[in-house]
Every structure is written in structure tokens, then in C-alpha cells.
Amino acid sequence: MYEEWNTLHLLNTIHLLKDALSREKFQEYEKAVHCSVQGIFRETRRDFESGTYRKNVENYTVANHFLWCIALCYRYGQLYQDQKMMDFCQEVMTDVCRHQLPFGTWLEGGSLVVEYAHTSLGALALFSHYSGNQNKEVYQAVLANINYLLKCYYDNFSPIGCIDTRNRYEYFNGFPYIPGAFVREPAGLQFAGKHVRGLSENPFYLLNSHQMLGFFTASYYSVPEDVLLPEKQETSSEDCVIEIDRLEHPILSYSENNCNSILIKEKGFTIPVCILTQKLYHSRWILERQNLFSIYHRDAGLIVGGGHSIADPRFSCFNVISGGKLFYMHEKAHFISAKQIVLSYGGVSCNIKIHVANKNIVTVQYQAEGLMDTQKVLVHVPVFSRYAKRISISNQADFIPEDLTYRKHKLLAGEQLEIDRNTLSMDRPFYAEYPVFAYNSYVQEQVEEFKNAFFVLHAELDDKHPCVTLTVKI
């Protein structure tokens, strides 16, 4: 089995330590590298020359592993003077960059995956660095990718789950790629600063896996000696709305129409909103877009939202029960304004209005329009509690989130779910349920484990009570 990441790390390592290794040991490692690279190069050439590659790249789909294979083979060709291998890699990487989405990334398996866009950046940046930044198309593609990714992370450098179709929120889960070849560019320096800030707060994160340490080391040696990386990345206090992407249904299409994913930054809050529709792929690798926004504060972290699931309507903003059917994925949507969206579930119009009252309070109004007395709408609010130290429900006994004993509590209007110092309440009676386990794309057999456990708040709407307001206080 050939593995491009390990091979690249081993390749770089043995050449860095060549003078410190015995000749026999160096040749032993070198033999393993030769064997792996020849296999990877053979498979990569076959993939590139196949009709599958061409079909995928024409639809903006490029796997991050494919890009790392190209980066590895180029580096190998460079160190062993294999010009034909280097020329092939230049041809492939140029072709890939010509098929980058206009807003700066590629699809992974047909969907937008923030962490894999980030992983692709590592291969692109190192390839450009190895080739002396002479390939202008690759260079510009890296800058475009950096600018895209800068919109996809919270202040603590954690990826935004509600715009990712495979991964949920994870504190500081971005691989440590510092694109050293690009720190002279303002966007590259800003991106590198986010890495430095995250690593300075949690240096042991590097030791979680050999991949992270290897990626960091490879990136570190690409930083120019005369550039000083910032120790801390200052968070912007400017209120703004940032556009993220312009895909449309089906997800393979790029649209010139209005943006369907945005980032609201106001009074210390970051509120990403994604209304992109998505067909059902019946694939465990692509989560169903259900939880369409999150609420994050730079001091309190993530409070509401955190990502999607599969086949569990409790993660959806709205469930419409109509005509004997349950609709939990919206068929269409549009923005009235940055803070007001209109969604359609089974033909029923549902609205979300977001209001940042001050630096401590956000309200979200959920409303269903024109309900008949035979229709019902359920509102769900996934609450992220994984890193909480204390949880209290309406002044009842405290418990810790690691306690996965199932519980469901009814709260009256105004009563609160308290998570550490943050509180959530509704202006109508609602339920608080815990734990609700989100789907894990990376395992075939689902396990009820703490890292996938969410609190979910439930409220019911009908023709007499068509709206409810959530209040979040920090």
C-alpha cells in the first residue's frame, strides 16, 4: 500500500538527516521511498490519463490525496534529478489549477469540505515552494485558496461546520500548514498568523499525530528567513458581512447568481449562514445540509450549531409535517437580507431572522407561514456542549456533558439551558434533549460517543402559534 503523506515526510526527513544517518540506514529508508514513489507515480499517471479524472476536474472535483501525490512526485523528481517526472507534475498541477472554482477551492467527492480544501492547500503551497514559485497559475491558485479558507474559520482557527459537508465543528482542527512560500503576501501572512496563534495556545496539538508534525515541519522549512511570523493574530473588530461561495443545486454547478453562503461578523459574534440546497447522495461521506447556521462568539466559542448529520431530522432547523410526510431538508432558499432567510420545506415557507442585539445577546426568530390546522412544524436548535464544564437546566441539578445518560426536559417560556456562563431560552415552551448523536462519516458502524453528542432544543409551531424566538446570552 502506497501512502503519499508518509512517503513525503520520509523523503524529506532522510535527506535532512543524511549526514547523521549511517550509509546502510539511509539506503534502507531510500529503498522504501523509491518503491513507494514509483507505485504512486504509476497510479497517479494512470488516474490523470483516465476519463474519470477529466470528468471530475471539469466539475471542479479534485481529491486532496491526488494533489499530495503530485507534490510528492515533484519533490522526488527534484531530489533525484528526474526531469520527466517533474514536467509531468507541472502539467498536472497546472491543469488542476485551471479548474479551480472561481471563489478559490475544489469540491472533494462532489461536495464542499473545508478541511479538505485546507489539506489541498498544503500540497499546492509546498509544490509551489519546491518549484520556486515559478508556475504563476499554481501561485495564484494558492492565493485564491488562502482567501477562500480565511472565510471558513472562526477566530480560534476552528473550521466552520455549517458550511462543511463532511465534518462538524472541532476546536482547532485545522492541519498546521503554514504556507511559508506565501507569507510575503498579506493573505498568506494572515493565514500563517492564525496557525501561529492556534499553535501558541495549544502546542501539544502538533503531537497528536505524525501527519500534523510532518506537515508543520515541511511548511516550517518553506518560511523565508527574513520574515517574522506574528505570534498572535489580531481579531478584527469591524462589523461586516462576507460572501463565501456561489454554488447551486445540483452542487456541481457554479452560479453567477447571489451568494448562498455568508459570514456575519458583528459585536464579537460570528454567524455563518449556508442556504445551499443539496440532493441526497446516499453516501456516508456527504452529510445532509440541515443545520443552516451557527452562533459563535470570540470569547465564548461556539454556542449554537456546529454541523450536519445524516438521516436525523433533529439536526434540521425546521421539520415540516404535512400530508402524512416529514420534510427536513429544504428544497429552495433565498436571502431577504444577510440576517433573514426564507426556506421551503414541502411547499411550506419557513423564515429565520437573526438579530445581534448587543455584544452579549443574539436572538433568532423561527417562523412558519400559512400553516393549516392539519400541519405542524418542529424547530430544532443543536447546541454545542462538548467542551462545557457545567450544564444546568432551568436551575435544576448540574451535570457534566460526559454523562451520556439520556434525558429530556420540558422548559417553560423564559426558562434557561445554561452551559457554563452562556444561556439559551425561548419565548414559548420547549424541550431540551441530550444526548443526540450526530452521524460520523468516518466510521461504518455508528457508535454513541461523547464527541458526537449534542444538546438539541425543540419547539413546536402550528397555525395558532407560528413563530418562536430563541435568545442566546453570553
Confidence of residue 259 (pLDDT cuts 50, 70, 90): confident
Cβ atoms 265, 235 nearer than 8 A: no
User: How far apart are alpha carbons 469 and 474 in whole angstroms?
Assistant: 17
What distances in angstroms separate CA 17 from CA 78, 143, 235, 253, 358, one per listed residue? 17, 32, 39, 47, 56
DSSP letters along 417-439, please? EEETTEEEEESS-EEEEEEEEPP
Q: Phi, psi at residue 34, to the nearest 5°?
A: -55, -50
Q: Which of 126-140, 269-283, 348-362 has the lowest mean pLDDT?
A: 269-283
63-102: pLDDT as tens digits = 999 999 999 999 999 999 999 999 999 999 999 999 999 9
128-171: pLDDT as tens digits = 999 999 999 999 999 999 999 999 999 888 889 999 988 888 87
Confidence of residue 205 (pLDDT cuts 50, 70, 90): low
Q: In this predicted structure, what is the pLDDT of residue 209?
A: 63
DSSP secondary structure code for residue 181 in this structure: G
Over residues 454-461, the mean pLDDT reads 96
Q: In this predicted structure, what is the pLDDT of residue 27?
A: 96
Cβ atoms 306, 382 nearer than 8 A: yes
Confidence of residue 466 (pLDDT cuts 50, 70, 90): very high
CA angle, 316 then 317 then 322, to 5°: 80
User: How far apart are alpha carbons 429 and 411 in whole angstroms?
Assistant: 6
Q: 2 exposed, middle or buried (CB, 10 Å; 0-12, 13-18, 19+)? A: middle
pLDDT above 80 for 392: yes
Grid coordinates representing 31? Answer: 529503498
Which among 273, 336, 302 is positioned nearest to 472, based on CA atoms? 302
Indicate the pTM of the whole model: 0.92
Q: Phi, psi at residue 86, to the nearest 5°?
A: -65, -40
438-448: pLDDT as tens digits = 999 999 999 99
Cβ atoms 341, 289 nearer than 8 A: no
User: How far apart are alpha carbons 110 and 116 in whole angstroms?
Assistant: 12
Over residues 41-52, the mean pLDDT reads 93
Q: In this predicted structure, what is the pLDDT of residue 155?
A: 85
364-383: pLDDT as tens digits = 999 999 999 999 999 999 99
Q: Which of 117-121, 213-217, 308-312 has the lowest mean pLDDT?
A: 213-217
Name the strand (E) or helix (H) holding 186.
Answer: helix 186-201
Over residues 241-261, the mean pLDDT reads 78
